[in-house]
Structure 1
Amino acid sequence: MSILSGKKILLGVTAGIAAYKVAELVRLFIKSGSEVQVIMTPAAKDFVTPLTLSTLSKRPVYSSFFDEEDENAVWNNHVDLGLWADVMLIAPATANTLSKMATGNSDNLLLATYLSAKCPVYFAPAMDLDMYNHPSTHKTFETLIKFGNTIIPAESGELASGLVGKGRMAEPKNILQFIENDILNGLFLKNKKVLITAGPTYEAIDPVRFIGNHSSGRMGVALAKVAADLGAQVFLILGPSAIQVNHSNITVINVISAQDMFEAVKPLYPTCDIAIAAAAVADYRPKTISNQKIKKKDTNFSIDLERTTDILKWMGAEKKHQFLVGFALETENEEANAKNKLKNKNLDLIVLNSLNDKGAGFKGQTNKVSLINHKLDIKTFELKTKSEVAQDIFNEINILKNE
């Protein structure tokens, strides 16, 4: 899976002969799992048709603030477009457009959107070799880089003028690879190993019955996906769950019981950088398991239970370099219980959620949490999707690890 999967790409196309390559670039972005919104300068339409790019991107192509031929036209809001994007790319980027970007000249929709963009901006220059080497062009490059933009260097080869040299827009596959590598290099979990436990455990009573809980595994899976998107190599130890996980950076280890989960954790924990215990592990299991299905009788029936291994406590006792995160799902004395768990199990951070909060807890798509760090500082968040909660948790981990 590409690091660009799910990203919103704003692709600005300017009036250069290299615009013919943009169709392939859009196709590659779509193939990577990205959403692509194309904005063209008015003159760019002389080099590649909006219909081609609209068909490939499956979105309308914008080139002006409104369609002058449509009396009911809606204004194309450059501010909204700039806020929508996760990544903005100008390709091809002509000397004319780059100069306007450097000086703040916003005489078309693309330039106005560039000035409104809050996301990382990349530009792929395309021009003849003398234009590319001109001191004014290099001054423009330097200015844009100082603004925080990133240049995708032009490549050498035959140019439209017939000359041979540097100035060709980078090939679409090279542009895609450049952006993927640049994003990956900026991710704080790159080359880190993250261990996550998730889901319930089932403790067998007999061949058909078990003791379990209502955990779906959604919160742990959301954490795994966020960690993987941040560049980590993720080991997800997942109890019984219907959720399917498909990510090239995630190794899923399916388990059933608390003991299964513990056996999976033991060899992985010493080498991980971050461990998050999001699983709802059973505290007790039947002392004996019947080999045959227990038949119903007229009399009452009782099960003798014994403690399971406290996996999180073991992780806290064995902790060396790891950053250890636990979860506390409470119904009363929430904050006090979470702080005690943080201290008793030697955690760096604990995620507190309460079953008293509507929309929090098991099975649902949302959660409402408070994060308590080792200093007992508390951050409380509103109800969010579990993916957003996972992002908040990793943001907090990043802050704490850099203190």
Structure 2
Amino acid sequence: PEQGTSLESPLIAANITTNTNDSTENNDGTQNKEQGDPGNKEDDAREKIPPDAFSMLFIAKTYSEHALPIGVFVLQILILVLISLDLLQTYDREVITFMNIPVIVPLSVTVSQCIACIVSVFSADDLVYGVLHVNKRPIDIKWEVSNIMRIVEGVMVIGVSLIFIVQSSTAIDLWLNFAAVQFVGQLDNLAFALAKMNFFRNAEWELAKRVSEYRVHDNSMQTFKRTARIIWCVMLIVMIAGLSFIFYTQYNLHFACKSITITVGESSSAFPLARYLSGTYILDTTRINGRPVYVQKQGTNGAFLAYCGSINQWTVSSYDDESRGNIDDPCYYFDLQSETTRTYDVAEIKTLRLPVRNGGVVIGWCIC
């Protein structure tokens, strides 16, 4: 009996091996490894690699096959770097806040910023896949390089998206810029899709087919999914926490000008009428129409600079003798008015001009 058992065991093992390697042959001669025994544990342990340009780099064999994935990666990074440099420029603003963050933003922008943070985190699949798969295989330079490229591209997309999110002062600008950055982040997927449709050469088409058929052994898919969820949650918490801190500083007028100086030149024809409005205006704790108020620190009668919502202009109004020390309605009676604007930042006012009562032509001049 013992000898019979030893003779039958190799046959049983051979049959099992034959069944596990079962595969169907396609018309083009390639083997479809997705089909097989439903109970086959080896097939269950196989994982598809992402259908993108980075996987094409990993599978590529010839120098010509490396050209497309490397070119796409260089193009992505170049675009993102150029956008970053442009976003960090100060241009001609007189007062520059940290990262050019607006002084205050309306509620529509605040809600859009929160939604954009969530979308940017859960669309960062390249970053998550690269982090989880780097150093997960035996020494393979191309495998490591492809995942490092995913990480670099994912970090750049998240970073540029975050800058756009915090710098936006209108909802439409936020979503237009955000969509553009997300499109740049999808260029690697787009390049693979075009290659699979034979948009480029036959070499790229064959390479895309090999990527689609390639499998890697991964016996820890459940752990992978759980770790991916943890990474997404951590990124989301960090971005929401940073955004909340910015909301808090904006609410406390941390980015607003602490003071602004208005000077009416003596050579101006309006000097006799508006000279008492010259002086330094200090940031007050009061808000009108969601914007800061500035109170004159030095002057004859005292005045304040505030935003009039009915005409969408910043106005300079003087106190009455009876109401001195109280902030009145900036739309009721004002001595100077700015151009029509919806800005929350007083530093963006270009001119202040003298209004003409009872209609007529507005006489304007620049007060610096």
Could you tell me the TM-score, scaled by structure 2's length? Answer: 0.25
Could you tell me the TM-score, scaled by structure 1's length? Answer: 0.24
Higher strand residue share: 1
Larger radius of gyration: 2
> Which of the pair has the greater relative contact order for Cα pairs under 8 Å at 6+ separation?
2
